[in-house]
């Protein structure tokens, strides 16, 4: 049986030769090409014009490296100075805080001292205020000034106060002197000589002193009496005047200074006026020199009144005093009237008032 023969491929020896030749050519080319193109070319191998350019470029590179080194050194110095500056800044801040703390401490200490001093002053002022209020409670607030010539400018036991204060001032002829003989003599003198008598000037000064002790919040009235009764300020009868109106007080005292004592003494008429005031006074200050010499009318015995008759007239007058109204008597005694002190003292006890007979040089 005959065997099938395979067909021969087209790939022949000639093809292999061709491929080998091509590969050899590539190897040859590779060997021929330079592999150190990046290597530095010696200056001697360079053309003269290129050697100058290369030297210039090398110099610029060297200068650049030097500048870079200097810049790095400068940066390092700046960083070091920055660190030093930061340290100094922290130290300064600490010193500032310490100084502020000391200043605040000093201020706090100074403020504390000032506060303590002010508190001490306030306490002193409070004590002074309390003392003044206590003194005002005892003596009343001085609404007017008064300067006396005597050694005593006070009345022991006499409390000046109340919401409504009435002063009854005796302006009879007996207020001219302490003796009956001198009273008769002065009745024949001029008005200036009569108003200049020591006893009358003391009576006026007593009224003046009383008005300076009236509480400023109170009301007042001043009545003058002899055989009849009238207000020191005309047209104010039956009215209460405000003490804080100092012009009214001054007017009352000035009016009394112009009065010339004369006539007899009707204490009963004076006490009747107390009951006519509305509301009633809560303090009455009576300035007189003795028992009354007549009642509501003239004496029957032609002007002569005995001691017993004067005592009866006093009792009749005392019965006119409204209940609850204290009578405070300031007696400027006259010779020959021994029952006066006893009678007015009894009236003070019965009414809840006071009785005083000041020295000749008061107030």
Would you say residue 157 lies in a domain? no
**In what helix (H) or strand (E) does residue 356 lie, and over which residues does it extend?**
strand 355-356
Q: What span, in angstroms and rounded, lies between the C-alpha atoms of 290 and 118?
A: 57
Q: Is residue 339 part of a domain?
A: yes
Residues 192 and 268 in one domain: yes
**Rounded Cα–Cα distance for residues 294 and 226 (Å):** 9
Same domain for 181 and 293? yes
Instruction: Say what the pLDDT of residue 45 is.
Output: 60
Q: Which residues of 112-125 are buried (b: 16+ CB within 10 A; e: fewer)?
A: eeeeeeeeeeeeee
- 17 within some domain: no
If asked whether residues 127 and 265 sit together in one domain, one would say no
**Is the same domain home to 128 and 212?**
no
Is 56 within the bounds of a domain?
yes
Give the per-residue pLDDT at 230: 92
Residues 207 and 346 in one domain: yes
Q: Are 259 and 253 in contact (CB under 8 A)?
A: no
Task: Give the CATH number for residue 279.
Answer: 3.40.50.410
Of residues 200, 190, 283, 287, the one with CA closest to residue 243: 283
The total number of structural domains that make up the chain: 2
Please report whether residue 79 resides in a domain: yes
* Structural domain includes residue 344: yes
End residue of a domain, out of 137, 154, 180: 137
Tell me: do 342 and 209 sit in the same domain. Answer: yes
Query: Which residue is associated with the tokens 């002074």?
Result: 128
Separation CA 66–CA 61 (nearest Å):
9
The answer to whether residue 219 is domain-embedded is: yes
Residues 113, 170 within the same domain: no
Q: How many CB atoms are closer than 10 A to CB 150?
A: 13
* Cα–Cα distance, 174 to 308 (Å, whole number): 18
Domain containing 327 equals 164-299+306-356
In a domain, 110, yes or no: yes
| Residues 281, 325 contacting (CB under 8 angstroms) | yes
Last residue of a domain, one of 84, 102, 137: 137
Q: What is the pLDDT of residue 153?
A: 42
A 10 A CB-CB count for 355 gives 21
If asked whether residues 129 and 213 sit together in one domain, one would say no
In a shared domain, residues 203 and 334: yes
Q: Would you say 40 and 58 are in contact if contact means Cβ atoms under 8 Å apart? A: no
DSSP-derived secondary structure for 57-79: HHHHHHHHHHHHHHHHHHHHHHH
Q: To 5 degrees, how large is the angle CA 22–CA 24–CA 28? A: 115
* pLDDT score, position 152: 43
pTM: 0.60
Query: Could you give the dihedral angle defined by the CA atoms of residues 340, 323, 141 and 123, in that order, rounded to the nearest 10 degrees?
Result: 120
Q: Are 266 and 228 in contact (CB under 8 A)?
A: yes
Enter the tokens of residue 282.
């809560």
pLDDT at 43: 58
206 near 360, Cβ under 8 Å? Answer: no
Give me the helices (H) in the chain, please: 13-32, 48-139, 180-187, 191-195, 198-212, 246-257, 267-276, 307-318, 339-351
For residues 274 and 341, membership in a common domain is answered with yes
Same domain, 171 and 81: no
Are residue 117 and residue 209 in the same domain, yes or no?
A: no
Over its length of 363 residues, how does the chain's per-residue pLDDT go in tens digits? 455 565 555 555 677 778 788 888 888 887 877 555 555 556 566 666 676 777 777 788 888 888 888 888 888 888 888 888 888 888 888 888 888 877 777 777 777 788 888 888 888 998 888 887 766 554 444 555 555 454 444 445 567 778 899 999 999 988 988 888 888 888 888 888 888 889 999 999 999 998 888 888 889 999 999 889 999 999 999 899 998 888 888 899 999 999 999 888 899 999 999 999 999 999 999 999 889 988 887 776 556 778 888 889 999 999 999 998 999 999 998 888 888 889 999 999 998 889 988 887 777
**CA–CA gap between residue 95 and residue 187 (Å, rounded):** 97
pLDDT for the residue numbered 151: 42
């Amino acid at each position: 049986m005959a065997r099938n023969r395979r067909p021969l491929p087209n790939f022949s020896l000639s093809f292999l030769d061709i491929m080998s030749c091509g590969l050899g050519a590539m190897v040859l080319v590779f060997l021929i090409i330079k592999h150190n193109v990046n290597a530095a070319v010696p200056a001697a191998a360079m053309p003269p014009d290129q050697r100058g350019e290369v030297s210039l470029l090398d110099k610029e590179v060297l200068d650049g490296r030097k500048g870079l080194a200097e810049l790095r050194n400068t940066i390092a110095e700046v960083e070091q100075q920055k660190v030093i500056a930061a340290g100094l800044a922290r130290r300064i801040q600490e010193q500032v805080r310490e100084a502020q703390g000391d200043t605040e401490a000093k201020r706090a200490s100074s403020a504390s001292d000032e506060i303590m001093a002010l508190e001490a002053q306030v306490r002193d002022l409070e004590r002074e205020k309390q003392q003044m209020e206590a003194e005002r409670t005892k003596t009343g607030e001085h609404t007017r000034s008064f300067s006396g010539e005597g050694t005593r400018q006070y009345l022991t036991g006499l409390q000046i106060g109340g919401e409504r204060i009435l002063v009854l001032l005796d302006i009879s002829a007996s207020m001219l002197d302490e003796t009956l003989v001198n009273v008769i003599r002065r009745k024949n003198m001029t008005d200036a000589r009569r108003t200049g008598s020591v006893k009358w000037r003391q009576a006026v000064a007593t009224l003046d002193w009383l008005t300076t002790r009236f509480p400023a919040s109170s009301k007042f009235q001043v009545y003058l009496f002899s055989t009849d009764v009238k207000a020191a300020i005309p047209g104010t009868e039956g009215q209460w005047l405000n003490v804080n109106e100092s012009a009214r007080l001054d007017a009352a005292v000035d009016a009394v200074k112009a009065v010339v004592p004369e006539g007899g003494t009707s204490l009963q008429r004076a006490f009747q006026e107390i009951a006519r005031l509305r509301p009633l006074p809560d303090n009455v200050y009576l300035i007189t020199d003795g028992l009354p010499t007549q009642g509501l009318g003239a004496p029957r015995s032609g002007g002569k009144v005995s001691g017993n008759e004067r005592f009866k007239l006093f009792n009749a007058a005392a019965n006119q005093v409204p209940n609850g109204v204290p009578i405070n008597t300031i007696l400027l005694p006259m010779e020959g009237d021994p029952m006066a002190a006893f009678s007015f003292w009894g009236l003070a006890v019965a009414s809840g008032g006071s009785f005083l007979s000041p020295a000749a040089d008061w107030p």
